[in-house]
Amino acid sequence: AAGGSGLTPQIYNKLLRYGVNLITLGDHTYRKRDIIKTLETTENIVRPANLSEHAAGRGVAFYTTTKGPTVAVVALIGRLFMKGADCPYNAIDRILPQLESKAEVIIVDFHAEATSEKIAMGYHLDGRASLCFGTHTHVVTADERILPKGTAYITDIGMTGAHDSVLGRSVENVLKSFRTQMPFPFEIATGDVKMNTILVTVDSNTKKAEGIRRIRIDAETKEATGYDSDDGKPEYLNNNF
């Protein structure tokens, strides 16, 4: 994330140079306004599909792998404890029929706060999507599994960033805020950098998952800079993750 929140064109291009094929966004999609033009002109960034139809960007993107199968990726955002959006369940019901003939693998990133809302989405998609994974809480869950009808599922894949932190923010000021109920800048933490991710195997003939595994990778350096040099400066959020 750019300065801990959102995406900039510079970091988007850097991620592509690192080998990233496709990027999904969540509740901080428009945090950096200079990304809006990029959202409107590129095909490999996905913002939540259940935002307004007039919102910049696309809710579905496609990636064709080197071995042939095409992957469709849909982003959704939850409604419990988050700002209003259209119903994610109705939105995905409208989208899925359009993908069946276009992709051999269907992936849904559900960016939501409540574990119950995400688990419900997993069952809602069971047998219709290859993978449904949750994001947003920054904390990896240990419930990865294949649902009864063949959809791989995990409630949250966690975060990439400093794990010696409170959800990526410096511990000291977060504690001050909780203890005093006063606003303090939530600076970006830098210690114990890790990447949380998952490895999923899918049968492209049936669209069903065959395996899902959690992976945690330690960074070669244990200290991050706190923000990306392409941002120009870090962003400090007052009482806001």
Domain 2-160+233-238, CATH among 1.10.443.10, 3.40.190.80, 3.40.630.10, 3.60.21.10: 3.60.21.10
Sorting pLDDT into bands at 50, 70 and 90, what band is 112? very high
Active site residue 28: yes
Check residue 84 and give its pLDDT: 78
Selecting among 28, 54, 111, 163, the annotated active-site residue is 28
Over residues 158-182, the mean pLDDT reads 88
Over residues 225-239, the mean pLDDT reads 53
Sequence ranges of the domains in the chain: 2-160+233-238
Question: Which range (114-118, 157-161, 163-167, 173-177) has the least confidence?
Answer: 163-167
Check residue 69 and give its pLDDT: 93
- Answer for the pair 180, 172: CB distance below 8 angstroms, yes or no: no
- Chain segment 69-89, per-residue pLDDT in tens: 999 999 999 999 988 799 999
The region that residue 120 occupies, defined by phi over 0 for left and psi between -120 and 50 for alpha, beta otherwise, is alpha
Question: Which range (154-158, 198-202, 223-227) has the least confidence?
Answer: 223-227
- Answer for the pair 186, 172: CB distance below 8 angstroms, yes or no: no
